[in-house]
Structures are given as C-alpha cells and as structure tokens.
Structure 1
Amino acid sequence: MKLHDDIHNYYEKLVLDEIIKQKINEALDVDTLADFCCTVLNQLPPRYIRFEVDMAFYLPQSERVEMEEKVKAAIEESKKLISMRGNIEQA
C-alpha cells in the first residue's frame, strides 16, 4: 500500500542536491550510491511534505540552513563509512 504519490521526505531532495554538488554521484556505482543515500537519510529526521512549494513558502530561512547543515554532516559521516570499504575517496 502506498499513501500517496505526492508524499515524500523533504530531506531526500536536500540529500540529492548535496550529492550532486559534491559530485559523489560520479564517484559511486548505482548500487553503492543507493546504499550511500540510505546511510545518509537514516541519520536525518524525516520531514514529510506533499508539495515542494509548501516548503519554499513556509520554511523559515534559518530552519532551511539548519537542515542543509544536517545533510552535510550526515554526508560526511557516510563518506567515512563508505571510504572504510574503499568505495569513495575521503574529501
């Protein structure tokens, strides 16, 4: 059963944006990247939304910055875990 096609975790977008920004997607194969994303997202609190526009309109800038910092920290921790297995260079 699926709740609704529009419902998703807002952190997914932030994580993907940061992964692309850091070009991690270019350094990992598809399976490792999927595992990496799970590792990152499991460190973050869920923030479910239905429409992106709601977050853009209602999310205070300070909270947005805090969420982005949490994403960066989770990515760095996940990079350490993945690099231990020899799959990604430590930045």
Structure 2
Amino acid sequence: MQISVDVHNYMETLIGAKLAKLEYTNKYTNEQLADLACIALNQLRPVYIRHDIDFLSGLPEEKLLKLQEQAIAALKAAETLIEDDQRKDRNHDDIPVIIPEHSDDEELQWYEEPIVPLKSQK
C-alpha cells in the first residue's frame, strides 16, 4: 500500500474541480492557484477516502452539498488573501535570510525534552 496512491483527501478533488473553472484560471496565475488551493485546504477538515465512486455512492446528497459549500466558502476566504497579497511587488533581494544560531548536533537545552525518550530514561 502507498498512502499517496491508495488514499486521498476528497476535499482536494472538490477544490481542484472548482479551481479548474475559467473564473479562476482566467483570473489567477498557476502560482496563485496553488496558493489558493493550499489556503483553502488548510481551512477544511480532510475527508480521506480510497475511491471517489465508492465514497460518493454511499454519501447522502445533502452531505455532498455541505462539502461543496464548505469548499466554496474556503476558496472565497482564500481569494481575499491572494487579492490582498502584500508580496506581489516584492523584490526577491529583499527576502530576509535567517541563519540558525545552533546546529542539529548540539545537545538539548535543560528545558527541552526529546520526542523519543532515550533507553536509559525508560
């Protein structure tokens, strides 16, 4: 099994179908469409499924309409962010570079806890 092949988020299908319409493709660049998709999908609860046809055959119509309404609302909210994007005239030379002050080889600070406890701590 491969998650990216066998399982997908149905909300991606809904958002993708909406973004493929001329009202979006004529108005936004590919970069903006990708941003719209990310912003919209981050607002939505994922609905993971294996096969669209199996999912849709068992889904009540009112639930499908609700999912579509949620997708449209998320896209409208995302559009406001894209249209008001402060980055559109940004010169790429102005992007700050942040250099971390520590390396990954350093020991943890006293207030940090490892994600996986060491065998000696068990």
What band does the TM-score fall into relative to the shorter chain? 0.7 to 0.9
1:33-44 alignment, distance < 5 Å: 33-44=33-44
My pick for the range that moved more, 2-11 or 75-84, is: 2-11
Q: In the aligned structure 2, how far is the partner of 1:42 from the partner of 1:4?
A: 18
Post-superposition offset of 1:32:
1.9
Post-superposition offset of 1:29:
1.8
1:1-20 alignment, distance < 5 Å: 2-20=2-20
Q: For structure 2, list consecutive stretches of 5 or more residues without a partner in the other structure.
A: 89-122
Instruction: Pick closer, same or farther for the CA change 1:4–1:42 going to 2, 3 Å.
Output: closer
Post-superposition offset of 1:22:
5.5
Q: 2:95 aligns to what?
A: none
1:20-55 CA distances to partner (integer Å, 9 max, x unpaired)?
236212322222211110000000000000101112
Residue identity (%): 31
Instruction: Pick closer, same or farther for the CA change 1:12–1:4 going to 2, 3 Å.
Output: closer
User: What count of residue pairs does the alignment treat as equivalent?
Assistant: 86
TM-score by length of 1: 0.83
Instruction: Pick closer, same or farther for the CA change 1:54–1:22 going to 2, 3 Å.
Output: same
**Structure having greater relative contact order (Cα 8 Å, sep ≥ 6):** 1
Q: For structure 1, list consecutive stretches of 5 or more residues without a partner in the other structure.
A: none
Runs of 4+ in 1 over 2 A off after TM superposition: 20-23
Q: 2:76 aligns to what?
A: 76
Greater Rg over alpha carbons, structure: 2
Post-superposition offset of 1:4:
4.6
1:30-69 alignment, distance < 5 Å: 30-69=30-69
C-alpha root-mean-square deviation of aligned residues, in Å? 1.8
